[in-house]
Amino acid sequence: MPSAAQSSSSTTRTQATIKQHMMPLPLSSSGLSQEFTPNRLAEFGSPPSPLSSYDNEPLNDSDFIKYPPDLPPQLQMTILNEPSSTIGTDQYLLVPNHTTLNHLYIQNSDGSQPVALGVTHRFLQKYVTVIIYKAFFR
């Protein structure tokens, strides 16, 4: 067990170490120095936002007649649009476009053919495509 003299000397060393690593903060600075600690933070309030940024006008009829945006051409290059001639062979498919990853695609068809659902995921350097065929009855 340490004596009282040893504990007081270790406390003094600890306090000296803390004081050695403490950085004094300037209270203010004059001249061209950029260091400045304000006395009051109220002086440094952010400027008010312009009132034009808060236009919360109600929607009118012209907002509802707009057509939805077209599908980007990158999303039309899917595994479901590829010809099925490579099935049953040991040929590899091309690396899918990064824009088609993690999207669910549905191949539209008439009622006599099954509906195909497809999705492609990437794991490290490998790509996994899952295609599910579902009979569609109306």
pLDDT tens, residue by residue, 9-34: 555 655 555 555 555 554 555 555 55
Any domain includes 25: yes
Count of beta carbons in the 10 Å neighbourhood of residue 118: 20
pLDDT category of residue 48 using cuts at 50, 70 and 90: confident
Any domain includes 55: no
pLDDT category of residue 56 using cuts at 50, 70 and 90: confident
Any domain includes 116: yes
Any domain includes 48: no
Task: Find out whether 91 and 108 touch, Cβ atoms under 8 Å.
Answer: no
Q: How many domains does the chain have?
A: 1
Q: Which pTM value belongs to this model?
A: 0.42
Sign of the four-CA dihedral 14, 20, 22, 24: positive
Any domain includes 79: yes
pLDDT category of residue 103 using cuts at 50, 70 and 90: confident
Q: Could you tell me the residue range of the domain that residue 26 belongs to?
A: 4-38+66-134
Any domain includes 56: no
Any domain includes 125: yes
pLDDT tens digits, residue range 58-99?
888 888 888 887 877 777 777 666 666 555 666 666 777 888
CA atoms within 13 A on the CB side of 16: 6
DSSP E strands in the chain: the ranges are 105-107, 115-123, 126-134
Any domain includes 47: no
